[in-house]
Amino acid sequence: MGAAYFYHLTRTPLEVTLPMLLDKAQGAGWRVLVRGRDHAMLERLDEKLWQGPDDGFLPHGLAGAPHEADQPILLSTDTERPNGAVCVMSIDGAEVTPEEVQALERVCILFDGNDDAALNLARGQWKALTGAGCAAQYWSEGSGRWEKKAEA
């Protein structure tokens, strides 16, 4: 049974936090699906990931492109995981179900703490997932570094 990790972004933008988490997931040997709600946003993230750091590379692709099943990291708006992902990273309020959390190694929910709508949506997701019995952790970078603030 997996767990949902909530990442409350207040200092570092998604474009910086997501590659850090993807690198950690790859280090664990996990295939990842980055699930968003807006295809244009995923295309921007795709471009950012290609421009990644000089000392590393995060192999990835967009859903619907050739060889999507071969991608260790796949960016998609869909709930399907054609690349066999065992980790889902939800951005922009993309839906995650309790069944999914329990079936996967990890679900990461990244949300912009400076956006009231995103914050309220994440609170609702926390209540829904923990209410369904899913293990969850809440991480905040409010102090300048990532700290676990709550666990259920």
Q: Are 132 and 2 in contact (CB under 8 A)?
A: no
For residue 24, give the nearest of 71, 62, 56, 70 by alpha carbon. Answer: 56
Beta-sheet pairing, 135-140 with 147-151: antiparallel
Per-residue pLDDT, averaged over 74-101, amounts to: 97
pLDDT in tens, 109-133: 999 999 999 999 999 999 999 999 9
| Residue predicted with more confidence, 58 or 105 | 105
| Helix ranges (DSSP H) in 12-70 | 14-27, 39-50
**Does the structure show a pLDDT above 80 at 57?**
no
Report yes or no: 103 and 118 within 8 Å, Cβ to Cβ.
no
Task: Provide the domain count of the chain.
Answer: 1
Q: Which tokens sit at 137?
A: 């952790």
Its domain, for residue 32, covers: 3-151
What is the C-alpha to C-alpha distance for residues 140 and 11, in angstroms, rounded to an integer?
A: 10
Assign residue 136 the CATH number of its domain. 3.40.50.10110
- The answer on pLDDT for 74 being more than 90 is yes
Q: Residue 103 and residue 134: Cα distance in Å, rounded?
A: 10
